[in-house]
Amino acid sequence: MAMKASDKKRLKRADIELTLLGMGTAPLGGLYAPVPLADARAALQAAWDAGIRHFDAAPMYGLGRSEHLVGELLREADRDSFCLSTKVGRLMSFDRPGRTLPPEPPKNEFDSGWHNGLPFREVFDYSYDAILRSYDDSCQRTGLGRLDVLFVHDIGRVTHGELHDHHWAALTKGGGFKALQELKAAGLIAGFGLGVNEWQVIRDAMGEADLDICLLAGRYTLLDGDAAETFLPLALKRDVDLVIGGVFNSGILASSSGRKKFNYVDAPAEVLARVERLEAVCRDFGVALPAAAIQYPLRHPAVTNVVIGAKTAAQVQQNVAWFEQPIPEALWERLESDGQIPALG
């Protein structure tokens, strides 16, 4: 039976529902290229019109721009009719007389910069006070009286390198998780978790706090099954809902876009060859490869929804069409038998 973007699923440990397809707002911050205001507004409206009621933002996206944009749409709606997730771990700041900011953090391999972001600088801080301030700042930018889900953004060794232990200590011993627990206990958020590209750090965080829901980008896709063997079963066992982002692995699985990026860099030859094999199987079943890429994560019972970014209304509508395209089970069986995707245990 075909899925609908507007279909909803209730979280196991947080009293909210998410639509199976969510709208990611990183592109609206000017990821890879500027996004005109009219296009950004039209993209968000198209998502709403398609029945999408989960919107995912972050202070990082456009250095505040995406939260302003999504808030403009959502604050005019019934507050109980949607779910907004955003992130903590980066504070937005700026130079001014009498204050000297710390050196700008080095760019990691997953950070492409923003082409029409706001004039702020990100400062990493995962401590108790910073988490509470980040919550307040996001409420101000969105114009909403409460937020639904907070993801601890980009904690992990890939992002922070030698500074990881420092930031991890702030999140754990420094009270970052405590702040999130207090926000949930006060009813100011429904749940919290991590929003990362590294599943290993979610596993580690499960030993530090009772996580409700986590966003994992790029690690459970048609091209990257790194999380499938041990992490997804663990999340399922611990009742931690998973949102999967980055299902196109930076564009390589969205063939109509013509982009040959894989995990933010130019795709190597072996990845291009794997994409050709995937496309051949999809073609045999009359299924668009991007449709298979969007729907694939939801086959696993640990996954609650998929978040897709878009810059225009047309891209949103295309994503919805791919999400709702019927896919025969025989296609998945072929990919499993060919060893192109892991079999569901």
What is the C-alpha separation between 18 and 30, in angstroms, rounded? 26
**Which of 87, 126, 148, 241 is the catalytic position?**
87
**Which of 61, 126, 220, 296 is the catalytic position?**
61
DSSP letter at 218 equals S
Q: Between β-strands 191-196 and 213-217, what pairing exists: parallel, antiparallel or unpaired? A: parallel
| Alpha-carbon radius of gyration of the chain | 19
Q: Is residue 53 within 8 Å of 38, Cβ to Cβ? A: no
**Dihedral sign, CA of 93, 95, 99, 103?**
positive
Residue 242 vs residues 128, 229, 316: alpha-carbon distances, Å: 24, 15, 22
- Complete DSSP assignment for 54-90: EEE--TTGGGGHHHHHHHHHHTTS-GGG-EEEEEESE
**Dihedral sign, CA of 246, 119, 57, 28?**
negative
Give residue 127's Cα distance to chain centre.
22
**Which of 7, 15, 49, 56 is the catalytic position?**
56
Task: Assess whether 56 carries a catalytic annotation.
Answer: yes
Task: Assess whether 87 carries a catalytic annotation.
Answer: yes
DSSP letter at 281 equals H
Task: Assess whether 338 carries a catalytic annotation.
Answer: no
301 phi, psi to nearest 5 deg: -65, -15
- Which residues are marked as active site? 56, 61, 87
